Amino acid sequence: MAASQSRTISFQPAGPLDGACAARGKAATRSGCRIPVRPGTITASSSFTVSGDRRTIVSNGLPKGSTTGTFPVASNDPARLDVDAIHAFLTGCYWSTGIPRETVARALAHSLGFGLYAPDGSQVGFVRAVTDQATYAYLCDVYVLDAHRGRGLGEWLVGFALADPALTDLRRISLATRDAHGLYAKFGFAVPQWANAYMDIVRPDIYLPAAAPSAAE
């Protein structure tokens, strides 16, 4: 088997897209095009070393406001994901209230997970992509713990995930957000052109205990 060759995807300060990338209409490619799709939007300046095996990507740059002593690490190694930490956050979120731990574990086993880790190794952030790794992905479960917010780490982690080789050549990437439209717009996400064409099945209370039947029933 040939040895894996590493490459680096650099996140540039705000500026116009590389012309070749813009012409191809891609957010990122294996040749190292910049993210986001739209110019003048990203503020973090970091670089990610990516080996031929996508599971070994580790950040080697600093988000804005970080120093050597607060160096964060982003990794897509599924072995590093802390299921308990992820579940502890998601079970209290508005989009997954009450989700069981076993459901989180099963979701991780069938998705691409990207973790953000503090210097002590604890997981402090997460992004998940549900994808066929060929044409489509759905970005979800994005979070950074409160104690680590305010330094651009959420933006940095989303950029790290979107730069993954499994996601760079997809035709469509979707997400849903209640209040973070500004963050995702920096990467080219926009309200669907045909919003009334999208349909879904939503079961918002699926993880909550069923209500006890009333005496009248």
CATH of the domain at 88: 3.40.630.30
Q: Record the tokens describing residue 15, joined without a space.
A: 């500026």
| Residue 82 falls inside a structural domain | yes
| Residue 162 falls inside a structural domain | yes
| Residue 208 falls inside a structural domain | no
| Residue 214 falls inside a structural domain | no
d(CA 43, CA 64): 7
DSSP letters of 119-159?
Answer: TTS-EEEEEEEEE-SSSEEEEEEEEE-GGG-SSSHHHHHHH
Comparing 66 with 117, the larger pLDDT belongs to 117
Average pLDDT over the chain reads 74
Q: Record the tokens describing residue 40, joined without a space.
A: 């003048």
Nearest in space to 209 (alpha carbons), one of 52, 91, 129:
91
Summarised one tens digit per residue, pLDDT across range 33-58 is: 333 332 222 233 345 544 444 444 44
| Residue 207 falls inside a structural domain | no
Report the phi/psi class of residue 25: left, alpha or beta, with left for phi > 0 and alpha for psi in -120 to 50.
left
Summarised one tens digit per residue, pLDDT across range 59-89 is: 445 555 544 445 678 899 999 999 999 999 9
Helix (H, G, I), strand (E, B) or coil at 114: strand
Cβ atoms of residues 48 and 199 within 8 Å? no
| Residue 34 falls inside a structural domain | yes
| Residue 79 falls inside a structural domain | yes
Comparing 82 with 17, the larger pLDDT belongs to 82
Q: Record the tokens describing residue 80, joined without a space.
A: 């590093």
| Residue 174 falls inside a structural domain | yes
Structural domain count, the chain: 1
| Strands 172-175 and 123-131, bridge-based pairing | unpaired
Task: Indicate whether this model's pTM tops 0.75.
Answer: no
Residue span of the structural domain in which 134 resides: 7-197
